[in-house]
Amino acid sequence: MVTVIFIAIASLIIASAVLVVISREIVRAALWLIATFFAVGALYLLLEAEFIGVAQVLVYVGAVSILILFAIMLTRQHERHEPAWRAGPWWIALAGVIGLAAVLITTIGAVPWRLTDDDLPVSRAPQLGTALMREYLLPFQLAAIVLLVALIGAVVIAMEERRRRTPTLADDIAAQRGAADRAEDGTP
Amino acid sequence: MNQIGFPLVSLAIALPALGALLVWLTPASQTRVARGFAMLSALGALATAVALVARFDASQAGYQLVDSVAWVAAWGLSYTVSVDGISLWLVVLTTLLTPVSLMASWNAGGAHPRLQQALLLLLAGAMTGVFVAQDMLLFYVFFELTLVPTALLIGIWGGDDRRRAAQTFLVYTFAGSVVMLVGIVGLYQAHGVQTGIYTFDLATVLASLQLGAVQLPLETERMLFAAFLIAFAVKLPLWPFHSWLTTAHTAAPSSGVVDIAGMVIKIGAYGLIRFNVQLFPQAAAWAAPAIGVLAVIGVLYGGWIAFGQRDMKRILAFATVSHLGLIVLGIFALNPQGLSGALLQMISSGITTGALFLIVGMLAARRDSRDVQHFGGIWGQAPFLGSIALVMVLASIGLPGLSGFIGEFTIMLGAWISPVLGWTYVSIAVIGVVLAAAYLLRMFRLVFMGPPREAGAPLRDANTLESLMLGVLLVPTLVIGLYPNALLLMMEPSVQQIAQQIGQTLASR
Amino acid sequence: MMFQISDVPRLLPELMLAVLALLVLGSDVLERWADDPAARRERGRAAAQLTGIGLGLIWLVTLVQGGLAFTIAPAGAAGPLDALLSLGRNLQAGGAERGALLGAFATDGITVMARLLLIGAALVVALLAGDHLPDAHPAEFFTLLLLATLGMCVMAAAQELIIAFVALECSSIALYVLAGYSARQPAAAEAGMKYLLFGVVSSAVLLYGMSLAYGVTASIGGADGGPPRVNTSFAAIAEAVRVADVAQRGAVMLAVTLMIAGVAYKLALVPFHSWAPDVYQGASPTVAAFLAAASKTAGVFLLVRVLTAAFPDVAGAAGANGFTGWAALLALLALSTLVLGNLAALPQDVTRRLLAYSSISHAGFLALALLPLGGAAPLRDAASAALLYYLVVALIGSLAAFGALAALQAAGVADRLEDLAGLRQRNPLLAAVLTIAIASMAGLPPLAGFTAKFAVFVGAWEAGAAWLVVIALVTTVIALAYYLRVLRPIWMQPADDRPTVSVAPVTAVTLALAALALIALGVLPGPLWQLAQAAVLAR
């Protein structure tokens, strides 16, 4: 039973992640990303790590994805910019992926992993909190610095955008709506 | 074992280097001051070399006047310099040629004179270092240090093809020396594993090999021998590695400044004696016949190609290839006669060919050509140049009474009685000597004899500076020719010792 | 296992880096700056100077605190300097003997060495960047530089999977932004984007390997029948690897392979190198210098930690004694990197691209130097010292070379080889610095590059990889051929009517010092060698 659910969730994760990459429309890609986050949250629940599962949904689906959507709406450039991409033939990539998957599956499948039904030390909120304040204090603190770095980086990139301000999607919609209004009014 | 006393040998390295620094620091406007510094340091080095000869104890075989300071003790690396009978005269030759090359540089008067003099002095210091280094890695360091100034001298002041020639020179010889580095690391590692002492000290390694403290398997010994051989064969150059040499000499500035400085490509021959023969006598005896064949081919090939050339510098370049073949033949005779003959020939051909390069440079500067066809009948216009050229040509050919004869004769004798070579090699190599007579005399005849080719501009004879340069080179040519024992006596113990070691090894085989 | 207040001195350099980063950022954000060009320049300079001074101070504190170069004698008679001395004594109190901090952060000699190297590199880059300020957001530039350095220092000390990964991300994210910093230039934006994509993928690969290693630790505790005790520390992984059976060894090797592949991208080892030329060329030259010097060094330190602390039992060999374990993997990477990196450098016409490929090929030497680290104690220690020695020399060499290119770019000299023509006359200092740096990279004695390569060769030879040493030596000849293509125009071509090149004073002094260091370390390798040995033995 668990295996069936796992396979279902895993396929959902992979399929939505692939769709994120191949979607041409960036808003659709963002929506598929939300689906991926959801499915990962479900995987955590399956592992009985409720806290992390809930946190995943709250933080990623509730906050991160919304921010991403906001960012797209506010900063997307009007003109579509196709990056010059030097991609090799797709079948080489496919062969590489299949080969890698074969190696991973055979090797990992051959290992007699020791499994347990006991709770892991970090599965529930109290243990998690204790671990973060004791054994994992240093990585926890360092993660704060990583966030700071990401924040500064985002500011640097976004402020550059602001300086050479180009119409955003929101501007676009407003302009269209304005045009439509004017058309309804019949005034040029 | 830090040495007590006056670091005479180190001084011979340091003085030119110091001079180079001073010359470089002199303001560009102060030409005379720069020249003064350059000449002073070169003469200082020469005086040091003379003092070395005076202090040298001719009755001893080993290293003398040792300066030794630990460099990186953890690696067994030390700064150890000293002289023995083999390196002594090569140091003298280097320090003698340095002032001459400086004077040639003044005489030619090209662009960037300070840089040129500084590079010449650096080259002199590095070459002296090669001859006196008794630590394998130190030897390698000096060996590589000689490359850079030479490449720059060719690349900045050379002829049309200078950049490619400089690059060819650098890549060729660097490739060779990298192979030598493999040999050094291999020997270092073998010595360290077998004795527990990791050291680059040549004397220690030599003693361990001779006393059997380090037993190299046959293949290992041959591979190490090959590693060193490749490096020195490229550096010499031994046929068929010669192409960089002729390119370099052809592209080098016409004035002969670099050619004369480069005359101490004898580094390769020195390395063969010091490393290949001394450290690996068994492999040397094994490889001697094959190397002898290459050497004889070199003698004939150099002579044959030289005979067909019209560019005087190319004639001399191929003559050098030919001479070096003879020297290698002497070294791999593996007996005292061959070794001392090779040493003597190294010194003699350095002086005579160097002088000929200078004369070619003077002629080329006067007529803006190095083609023998553009000259003729110069004897009447420039008798001094002509007579010196004649002496040098005759010395080069091996006329008895001049320096070349003793060397060539001793090499032939050594190769004849050698247990590993024999009379066949000698009888073929003799053809090369005949060829040498042919192409050098042909060059002399075409340039100096006959009716003047271009009636227009009479050539002026050597000026004071030029006479001085040639005079300096004339003296040792005569001295070595008339009284070779002055040199041979001091070489004798060291050469005998090497030959004795080889003899024992061959007997035990 | 709790964090004690007395542990603070052991983390002091990292804490100071974080504080300095906040100071630099805060002093810019909280100040009201005018918007004219002069004020903007002043603003950038203020950030650069604060960063430079701060990094210099942190470097000195690290030197004292590490106690490698000297240790302060225990308290004696009270003298006028006693207060200062006791401060130093307190700094030196947290040494290696107290074990890793929280089991996650080693404060041994290698960490000290890594801090000195990385903070020193950041200092040099900050000094160079002071003369080549980015066109916008100067304070953020230096803040990111500092935080990237912080992440690298932690990487080099990691004794546990999670902190290793978080530290790697900390430095990587900062570097992605730095690589694309002058985003108005399309090349820089492209560089940042490429670096980001490659970095993210390799992070994923690394993480996958880490998760496998973590899974393997479930087998400890199995011996006494108790529940598995999974653990992320390298020590636990090493224990698990020791007791692993054949089938589990397969997973272990897979984990090692993936982790090496993930870090190999940081080092730009072939075949994980393809981002490097584009990024080195597209990013601003100071950032390229930082990438080539510091980022690579940090990656090597992380590999040292992972391979020696977590996987010593699958070290294997790459020579006469067989071809197994991660030594064999590294040998293959070294082989491909040395051969392909050097060959690919030959036809390059753009100076910075050529040096990027040369930097790739140097990573091959690093892999060669890592090879013997799985051996027995005396050999391993000598090899580790050789590795540290090589890292120091390579760091200074790339800083000097890329720094000189940065100065050239600032002076408006274009990027192609022929634009260097006659540099000997146009700016003798830059010509000399470039020549010394390149000759050192080429391994010409008596420069530091030669001694460093030599030490690495001896180590690899003793580990049985003599075949690889011979190949490496052959590739140095190829390397000389393309290095000459840089040196030839500098020395052997006339300047013609190309203008002279002027260099800002701070840059000039920094570069001259770096070049002098390359000479000094080559002529007198002893002191640095002793320092490296002391660092290796202080564990």
pLDDT digits (tens, 9 = 90+) for B402-433: 888 888 888 888 888 887 787 888 888 888 88
- Residue B76's closest CA among B234, B191, B217? B191
**Burial track B236-273 (b if 16+ CB lie within 10 A, e otherwise):** bbbbebbebbbbbbbbbbbbbbbbbbbbbbbbbbbbbb
Is residue A84 scored above 70 in pLDDT? no
CB-based contacts of B17: which residues, under 8 Å, 6+ apart? B121, B122, B125
Q: Give the span between the Cα atoms of C94 and C426, in whole angstroms.
A: 51
pLDDT digits (tens, 9 = 90+) for C442-481: 988 889 999 899 899 988 888 888 889 989 988 998 898 8
User: Which amino acid type is present at position C41?
Assistant: R
Q: Around Cβ C146, how many Cβ atoms within 10 Å?
A: 28
Alpha helices in B449-509 (DSSP H): 464-482, 485-508
Q: In this predicted model, which residue has the larger pLDDT, C321 or A136?
A: A136
Is residue B183 scored above 80 in pLDDT? yes
Which of C23, C137, C150 to probe by mutation at the A interface, max A CB count within 10 Å? C137
At C224, the pLDDT band (50, 70, 90 cuts) reads low
Which residue range forms the structural domain that includes residue C354?
315-539
At B315, the pLDDT band (50, 70, 90 cuts) reads confident
- Do A107 and C101 lie within an 8 Å CB cutoff? no
pLDDT at C155: 94
- Residue C333's closest CA among C423, C249, C246, C265? C265
pLDDT at C227: 58
B184 CB neighbours in chain C (<8 A) are none
Side-chain-side CA neighbours of residue C467 (13 Å): 11
Scan residues 113-152 of C and list those with Cβ closer than 8 Å to A: 136-137, 140-141, 143-144, 147-148, 150-151
Is the CB of residue C3 less than 8 Å away from at least one CB of chain A? yes
- What is the CATH number assigned to the segment(s) A1-77? 1.20.120.1200
Q: What is the mean pLDDT of residues C263-288?
A: 89
Q: What is the 3-state secondary structure (H, E, C) of A37-81?
A: HHHHHHHHHHCCCHHHHHHHHHHHHHHHHHHHHHHHHHHCCCCCC
User: What is the count of structural domains for chain C?
Assistant: 1
Q: What is the mean pLDDT of residues B53-81?
A: 81
Which residue range forms the structural domain that includes residue B378?
280-509
Is the CB of residue C228 less than 8 Å away from at least one CB of chain A? yes
Q: What is the mean pLDDT of residues C116-123?
A: 95
Q: Look at A108-117, B350-359, B497-506 and tell me which has the smallest mean pLDDT.
A: A108-117
Q: Which chains touch B (3 or more CB pairs under 8 A)?
A: C
At C378, the pLDDT band (50, 70, 90 cuts) reads confident
Interface of C with B (CB under 8 A): 439, 444-446, 450-451, 454-455, 457-458, 461-462, 466, 469-470, 473-474, 476-477, 480-481, 484, 488, 491-493, 524-526, 529-530, 533
Distance from CA of B144 to the nearest CA of C (A): 6
pLDDT at C225: 54
User: What is the count of structural domains for chain B?
Assistant: 1
Distance from CA of B283 to the nearest CA of C (A): 21
My answer on whether omega of the bond before B240 falls inside 30° of 0, hence cis, is yes
Bridge partners, residue C350, by sequence: C416
Distance from CA of C446 to the nearest CA of B (A): 6
The 8-class DSSP code of residue C9 comes to G
- Do C444 and B182 lie within an 8 Å CB cutoff? no
Q: Look at A150-164, C158-172, C258-272, C495-509 and tell me which has the smallest mean pLDDT.
A: A150-164
Interface of B with C (CB under 8 A): 71-75, 137, 140-141, 144-145, 147-148, 152, 155-156, 162-163, 166-167, 170-171, 174-175, 178-179, 181-182, 185-186, 188-189
Q: Give the span between the Cα atoms of C37 and C411, in whole angstroms.
A: 19
At C370, the pLDDT band (50, 70, 90 cuts) reads very high
pLDDT at C498: 83
Q: What is the mean pLDDT of residues C34-40?
A: 78
Distance from CA of C406 to the nearest CA of B (A): 26
C450 CB neighbours in chain B (<8 A) are 141, 144
Q: What are phi and psi of C501, to 5 degrees?
A: -115, 130
At B2, the pLDDT band (50, 70, 90 cuts) reads very low
Q: What percent of chain C has pLDDT over 70?
A: 94
Is residue B366 scored above 90 in pLDDT? no
Is residue C396 scored above 90 in pLDDT? yes
Distance from CA of B414 to the nearest CA of C (A): 37
Q: Is residue B407 part of a domain?
A: yes
DSSP secondary structure letters along B261-302: HGGGTTHHHHHIIIIIIHH-HHHHHHHHHHHHHHHHHHHHHH
Is residue C228 scored above 80 in pLDDT? no
Q: Give the span between the Cα atoms of A46 and B198, in whole angstroms.
A: 62
Q: Where are the beta strands (DSSP E) in B42-125?
A: 64-72, 77-83
Distance from CA of B100 to the nearest CA of C (A): 25
pLDDT digits (tens, 9 = 90+) for C68-100: 777 776 666 566 677 777 777 777 766 556 678
Q: What is the mean pLDDT of residues B7-19?
A: 85
Is residue B370 scored above 80 in pLDDT? no
Q: What is the mean pLDDT of residues B365-372?
A: 76
Pick B74's closest partner by Cβ from C473, C488, C529: C529
At C367, the pLDDT band (50, 70, 90 cuts) reads very high
Side-chain-side CA neighbours of residue C11 (13 Å): 22
Q: Is residue B286 part of a domain?
A: yes
At C173, the pLDDT band (50, 70, 90 cuts) reads very high
Q: Is residue C335 part of a domain?
A: yes
Is residue B187 scored above 80 in pLDDT? yes
Q: Which chains touch C (3 or more CB pairs under 8 A)?
A: A, B
pLDDT at C296: 93
Q: What is the mean pLDDT of residues B83-110?
A: 84
pLDDT at C147: 96
What does the mean pLDDT of chain B come to? 83
Q: In this predicted model, which residue has the larger pLDDT, C223 or B491?
A: B491
User: Which amino acid type is present at position C34?
Assistant: A
User: Which amino acid type is present at position A41?
Assistant: G
Q: In this predicted model, which residue has the larger pLDDT, A119 or C84?
A: C84
Q: Do chains B and C touch (3 or more CB pairs under 8 A)?
A: yes
Task: Say what the pTM is.
Answer: 0.87
Q: What are phi and psi of C272, to 5 degrees?
A: -110, 30
Distance from CA of B42 to the nearest CA of C (A): 23
Pick A114's closest partner by Cβ from C150, C151, C218: C218
CB-based contact B281:B502 (threshold 8 Å):
yes
Question: What is the β-pairing status of strands C317-319 and C322-324?
Answer: antiparallel
pLDDT at C388: 94
pLDDT at C387: 94
Secondary structure of residue B338 in the 3-state scheme: helix
Q: Is residue B368 part of a domain?
A: yes
Q: Which chains touch A (3 or more CB pairs under 8 A)?
A: C
Q: Is residue B415 part of a domain?
A: yes
pLDDT digits (tens, 9 = 90+) for C306-356: 999 999 888 888 777 778 889 999 999 999 999 999 999 999 999 999 999
Distance from CA of A107 to the nearest CA of C (A): 6
Scan residues 439-498 of C and list those with Cβ closer than 8 Å to A: none
What does the mean pLDDT of chain C come to? 87
Secondary structure of residue C158 in the 3-state scheme: strand
Q: Is residue B109 part of a domain?
A: no
Q: What percent of chain A has pLDDT over 70?
A: 78
Q: In this predicted model, which residue has the larger pLDDT, A72 or B84?
A: B84
Q: Is residue B56 part of a domain?
A: no
Scan residues 24-83 of C and list those with Cβ closer than 8 Å to A: 25
Q: What percent of chain C has pLDDT over 90?
A: 43
- Residue B222's closest CA among B287, B312, B144, B309? B287
Which of B21, B136, B167, B184 to probe by mutation at the C interface, max C CB count within 10 Å? B167
At A123, the pLDDT band (50, 70, 90 cuts) reads low
- Do C228 and A157 lie within an 8 Å CB cutoff? no
Q: Look at B124-133, B480-489, C212-221, C401-410 and tell me which has the smallest mean pLDDT.
A: C212-221
Bridge partners, residue B201, by sequence: B135
Pick C444's closest partner by Cβ from B74, B148, B185: B148
pLDDT at A158: 74
Compute chain A's Rg from CA coordinates.
23
Is residue A188 scored above 70 in pLDDT? no
Compute chain B's Rg from CA coordinates.
22
- Residue C47's closest CA among C63, C61, C33, C62? C33
**Burial track B330-344 (b if 16+ CB lie within 10 A, e otherwise):** bbbbbbbbbbbbbbb
Q: Is residue B373 part of a domain?
A: yes
Is residue C182 scored above 80 in pLDDT? no
pLDDT at C9: 82
- Residue B19's closest CA among B94, B125, B93? B125
Q: Is residue C445 part of a domain?
A: yes
Is residue B266 scored above 60 in pLDDT? yes
Q: Give the span between the Cα atoms of C387 and C380, in whole angstroms.
A: 10
pLDDT digits (tens, 9 = 90+) for A26-70: 888 888 999 999 999 999 888 888 888 888 888 888 888 888 888
Q: What are phi and psi of B371, to 5 degrees?
A: -85, 125
Instruction: Break chain A into its structural domains and give their ranges.
Output: 1-77
Q: Is residue B455 part of a domain?
A: yes
pLDDT digits (tens, 9 = 90+) for B188-206: 888 888 888 888 888 888 8
CB-count exposure of residue C269 (10 Å: 0-12, 13-18, 19+):
buried
Is residue A80 scored above 60 in pLDDT? no
Distance from CA of C212 to the nearest CA of A (A): 9
B174 CB neighbours in chain C (<8 A) are 477, 480
